């Protein structure tokens, strides 16, 4: 469990269970038992129940009366919805980011992208994906809108498991870096219209690649 001084015990339980659900440790439809979870996490029922309540509000867990707690997780339809939402608001984020971009932040994006390209060329898709996340996170931070940043970071977090599947494809890892390079060039030239179009196309391509992988692996549900 991540130790963060400013988090309550319920916050920590929530964060750990959320990560385990989104990582796929618990399968969709799997039944969870309070006593087993409490023992595993080393906590009492009170913070555990608070965490479960919040995860129910997030749509990741579901309590069925007289049956128990079940994992809802993220479905393929959820993934498509998340990507479709991102397609629209990623463009807004990059548009706002361009207005606030300075030499320092552009240099940071350049450094991140260089590392992403390096790891992709070496076939280290795990690290390439981390740099991909940092690239997007830098743009979110640069846009200067806490509400927009919170929404995008939350959506990004929910699909980490599926992005790992997508980045297992060498072609997607390379294409993602190429698309980021084009986005960065548009940011440098302050070409807002082109940057927004590229950001939307980048997210659309990521969605289509993941859908293709799901169909190939017969994981569609």
In a domain, 3, yes or no: no
Residues 45 and 112 placed together within one structural domain of the fold: no
Domain at 30, CATH number: 1.10.10.10
In a domain, 1, yes or no: no
pLDDT, one tens digit per residue, over 50-74 is 999 999 998 899 999 989 999 988 7
Identify the domain containing residue 17 by its residue range. 9-71
Q: Rounded CA gap, 140 and 95, in Å?
A: 10
Q: Give me the number of domains the chain comprises.
A: 2
Residues 153 and 103 placed together within one structural domain of the fold: yes
What tokens does 179 get?
A: 């698309």
| Opening angle at CA 54, ends 50 and 58, nearest 5 | 165
Work out the mean pLDDT of the chain and round it to a whole number: 88
Q: Rounded CA gap, 63 and 26, in Å?
A: 15
Residues 20 and 95 placed together within one structural domain of the fold: no
Domain at 118, CATH number: 1.20.120.530
Residues 198 and 133 placed together within one structural domain of the fold: yes
What is residue 42's three-state secondary structure? coil
Residues 156 and 51 placed together within one structural domain of the fold: no
Strand partners, 71: 61
Q: Could you tell me whether strands 68-71 and 61-64 are parallel, antiparallel, or unpaired per DSSP bridges?
A: antiparallel
pLDDT, one tens digit per residue, over 77-123 is 888 899 999 998 998 999 999 988 999 999 999 999 999 999 989 98
């Amino acid at each position: 469990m991540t130790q963060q001084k400013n988090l309550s015990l319920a916050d920590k339980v929530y964060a750990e269970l959320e990560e385990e659900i989104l990582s796929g440790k618990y399968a969709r439809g799997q039944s969870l038992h309070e006593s087993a979870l409490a023992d595993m996490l080393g906590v009492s029922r009170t913070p555990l129940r608070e965490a479960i309540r919040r995860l129910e509000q997030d749509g990741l867990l579901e309590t069925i009366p007289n049956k128990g707690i079940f994992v809802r997780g993220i479905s393929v339809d959820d993934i498509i919805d998340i990507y479709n939402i991102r397609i629209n608001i990623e463009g807004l984020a990059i548009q706002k980011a361009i207005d606030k971009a300075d030499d320092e932040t552009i240099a940071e994006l350049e450094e991140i992208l260089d590392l992403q390209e390096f790891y992709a060329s070496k076939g280290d898709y795990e690290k390439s994906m981390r740099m991909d996340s940092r690239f997007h996170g830098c743009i979110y931070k640069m846009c200067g809108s806490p509400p927009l940043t919170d929404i995008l970071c939350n959506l990004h977090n929910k699909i980490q498991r599926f992005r790992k599947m997508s980045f297992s494809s060498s072609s997607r890892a390379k294409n993602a870096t190429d698309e980021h390079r084009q986005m960065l060039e548009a940011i440098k030239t302050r070409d807002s219209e082109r940057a927004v179009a590229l950001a939307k196309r980048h997210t659309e391509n990521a969605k289509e690649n993941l859908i293709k992988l799901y169909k190939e692996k017969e994981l569609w549900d």
